[in-house]
Structure 1
Amino acid sequence: MQQKGKLFVSFDLSVIPNKNIILAVTGGIAAYKSAILVRRLKDYGFDVRVVMTHGAQAFITPLTFQALSGYPVHTELLDPEAEAGMGHIELARWADLILVAPASCDTLAKFAQGLADDLLSTLYLATKAPVWVAPAMNQQMWAAKATQRNLQTLVDDGVHVIMPDAGAQACGDVGLGRMPEPEQLAYQVREYFHKAQRAIAEKFGLLAGQHVVITAGPTREAIDPVRYISNHSTGKMGFSLAAACYAAGAKVSLIAGPVSLDTPNGVKRVNVSSAVQMLDESLKTLEQGCDIFIATAAVADYRVAQVSDQKIKKSGDELEVSLIKNPDIVATIAQQAQRPFMVGFAAETQNVEEYAAGKLVAKNLDMIACNDVSRKDIGFASDENAMVVFFAEQYHLKKRELEKASKQEIAQQLVESISDALRRKL
């Protein structure tokens, strides 16, 4: 989606979509690690095609890589069948990144000297894609002056060299020359594309330049050291929104109640337990220049008036606990002098839209998203949701109905709605 120079970048930054990786495998015992590397790259969502030198085929078969990548393995420069489909030039154009792992001493020398006597060296010269090399060789070969000269030439030419690890080698020597583990290599590739994707989002994303604060999950109100009052919120909607806002270019602070969810990539997280703690942390964010405040947390309406220091012993059929009202976090933030753009959430079991429209006005919000938690197929503990969004009158926006979809998809639509309202506010 594109609006006035803004775009929405994929909300899931754990996966890099539509990126093509050529994994080139050269001769060396470390070639066995490359099979695992194919799997790890595919786990991150990359499309992987494998090129093998003749030396590599002495250590591991092309059939292994074909099974793991799902594509035929490229081994010959002058292969009539390959030329009829994807020749070496088309393969070079296809790649978004070429990773040579392991990169043998011989391959480094060919790259440095500009030779083109096999498929891999020809690809190196024919591609515009970034080229990464992960050298793997005997420690003395690595230390040789000729190897170091070749490496310096490659660095000067813009090749990214992944330094080898030190340790015991297959030949019995100990020293630098071991190829890093596949998980480490795949992670570095993923981070490279993440940074590029983030740079685009920070410049062109729907929420570029905005500091978004999100409350998520339930609160727990202590009764005694082992008991508390809470609700069924899992925090999934708030965490999905945090990921979506970050992917749209925002700086994101997430104030999370007690939930068992991983922090979205790039998001700053603060954990709290009670409603009072959540309010305190929310007020702190205003001092940091909060632009958008999104209150998805299911905050307990009441807390225990007097929390027992000791576990309350069972002494009868009834237990009386006095409750007092908790502060209304979203209403409190909306009343501040430095008021951010306010987004509320309403989880109701009846008269959903009527109650939500009332909260929008009563709590001085800019936007509110409501859902019917009496439905068993959406809302609490579900991976899907459906919502109706209302806007304050000054935005001149009609209510929007977000049909049932994954919470990630709903989060993306909410980000688009927030961006639309912000443009009108400006």
Structure 2
Amino acid sequence: MLKGKTIILGITGGIAAYKGAALCSKLVQAGADVRVIMTESAAKFITPLTLQTLSRHPVYIDTFEERDPSVVAHIHLADHADLIIIAPATANAIGKIANGLADDMLSTTMLAATSPVLIAPAMNVHMYENAAVVRNLELLAERGAMFVEPGTGQLACGYVAKGRLAEPEDIVKAVEAFFAQGNTLAGQRVLVTAGGTVERLDPVRYLTNDSSGKMGFAIAEAAKAMGAQVTLIAGRTSAQPPAGVELVRVESAQQMLEAVTERFDTADIVVKAAAVADYRPVKQHGQKLKKNGESLTLELERTTDILQTLGEKKKGQLLIGFAAETEDVERYAMDKLTRKNCDLIVANDVGADGAGFNGDTNIVQLYGPEGLIESLPMLSKREVAQRLLIHAADRMASTRRRTE
């Protein structure tokens, strides 16, 4: 998969730098031509000689150590990279890259780079959640950077929390998935919905659900990486939307219905990952509803079923729905697929550990008219999205072959 690919591996100064050796080795074993750039701080944790031996190339640390007079090293490296990986990426390195600082070999190379970038953060949990770091990560995401989320476990500082570098095997999987995507969906128009809807009771209160938007965002990001033209319709979310897609923000189920139906006819693939409210208050109060008595009774009415509406309207589109269940997953998933005229259903038990709302992982089963297609183990939502879209692309190709 990685044969012939030139990868720059940036290693920065955190205790997790020692994992850079394993990552470098695995990338080389997978066929990549790996060029390592270390910060001076990283060299305090692991020797350049180790990375030189594993990569079979000189390791770059000093911007001013120009070994080949025919080229400028940081420009030459940036120009020839198919992918840049920064692992571990410290808070300091993330801040430099996000804000365009260039005071060492790695940050200078990053400023000259035009290739895709994959960042694997690693730091103390409080640093990872600091508003400045969060904003820097958002800036990088807006510019198209990809991420391998840090794991939860024992940190060097003693905390057991989120912030440890993803395992080298997981980073390699993300790299392989990136190169595997190619142009699988080139020329296809993909419409994705994400997040939860908000149904207002009054200006300060509303009904909603736990959806973070992460699954829908991962699907939109994966579709873009596979060459599709992507429109993302998002309700209430707590995650950062991917860069490079058309983003349409909505609030209520009605607004999402209108936004989706307006764009449905021009779509090739529609993925309905949003968690849309089934009911809304009959009356929306213009002013804040005041307390009056010991109880409050709300009258709710059904919202329009968006997925069923699309199933009734579709004319050749591949329609994918989601089924978040707590029991008897297969029966409910197949029933939903049939009733709503879907081509695929992504089903999961939201009560299972590692699945459902807000998390970075999911455990899903994919169903088609023929029944269970694939049962996926616990994977990152990015990997789930990629596997789903591979199935979608295969079905689109199969349909084209039958009609030709």
Instruction: Report the TM-score when normalising by structure 1.
Output: 0.60
Partner of 2:84: none
Aligned partners of 1:202 and 1:209 also within 8 Å: no
Partner of 1:147: none
Q: Output the CA distance in 2 between the equivalents of 1:202 and 1:251.
A: 18
Structure 1 residue 181 displacement after superposition = 3.3
Q: Output the CA distance in 1 between the equivalents of 2:297 and 2:40.
A: 71
Q: 1:372 aligns with which of 331, 349, 365?
A: 349
Aligned partners of 1:22 and 1:99 also within 8 Å: no
Aligned partners of 2:194 and 2:272 also within 8 Å: yes
Call closer, same or farther: CA 1:398–1:302 in 2, change over 3 Å: closer
RMSD across aligned C-alpha pairs, in angstroms? Answer: 4.1
Aligned partners of 1:369 and 1:387 also within 8 Å: yes
Structure number with larger C-alpha Rg: 1
Aligned partners of 2:40 and 2:61 also within 8 Å: no
Say yes or no: does 1:422 pair with 2:396. Answer: yes
Say yes or no: does 1:351 pair with 2:328. Answer: yes
Quick one: percent identity of the two aligned structures?
32
* Paired AA for residue 314 in structure 1: K
Call closer, same or farther: CA 1:399–1:272 in 2, change over 3 Å: same
Say yes or no: does 1:311 pair with 2:311. Answer: no
Q: Output the CA distance in 2 between the equivalents of 1:254 and 1:232.
A: 19
Partner of 1:253: 231
Partner of 1:405: 379
Structure 2: state its 5+ residue gaps. 25-33, 81-99, 118-143, 145-174
Q: Output the CA distance in 2 between the equivalents of 1:63 and 1:350.
A: 54
Say yes or no: does 1:297 pair with 2:274. Answer: yes
Q: Output the CA distance in 2 between the equivalents of 1:368 and 1:294.
A: 10
Partner of 1:285: 263
Call closer, same or farther: CA 1:210–1:68 in 2, change over 3 Å: farther
Aligned partners of 2:75 and 2:112 also within 8 Å: no
Aligned partners of 2:190 and 2:228 also within 8 Å: yes
Q: Secondary structure at the match of 1:279?
A: helix
Aligned partners of 2:37 and 2:61 also within 8 Å: no
Call closer, same or farther: CA 1:398–1:321 in 2, change over 3 Å: closer
* Paired AA for residue 285 in structure 1: R
* Paired AA for residue 102 in structure 2: E
Give CA deviations for 1:249-270 in whole Å, capped at 9, x if unaligned: 2122111111121121322222
Q: Output the CA distance in 1 between the equivalents of 2:187 and 2:270.
A: 14
Q: Output the CA distance in 2 between the equivalents of 1:369 and 1:203.
A: 20
* Paired AA for residue 251 in structure 1: Q
Structure 1 residue 363 displacement after superposition = 0.5
Q: Secondary structure at the match of 1:399?
A: strand
Instruction: Report the TM-score when normalising by structure 2.
Output: 0.63
Structure 1: state its 5+ residue gaps. 2-8, 10-16, 24-33, 51-61, 75-81, 108-118, 134-157, 160-178
Aligned partners of 1:215 and 1:295 also within 8 Å: yes
Give CA deviations for 1:24-70 in whole Å, capped at 9, x if unaligned: xxxxxxxxxx99xxx9xx9xx985337xxxxxxxxxxx966733885
Give CA deviations for 1:239-285 in whole Å, capped at 9, x if unaligned: 11112212222122111111121121322222111101111111222
Q: Output the CA distance in 2 between the equivalents of 1:330 and 1:349.
A: 20
Aligned partners of 1:202 and 1:250 also within 8 Å: no
Aligned partners of 1:254 and 1:269 also within 8 Å: yes
Q: Output the CA distance in 2 between the equivalents of 1:305 and 1:63.
A: 63
Structure 1 residue 381 displacement after superposition = 2.0
Q: Output the CA distance in 1 between the equivalents of 2:223 and 2:357.
A: 21
Call closer, same or farther: CA 1:306–1:22 in 2, change over 3 Å: closer
Structure 1 residue 192 displacement after superposition = 3.0
**How many residue pairs get matched?**
303
Partner of 1:236: 214
Q: Output the CA distance in 2 between the equivalents of 1:258 and 1:347.
A: 17
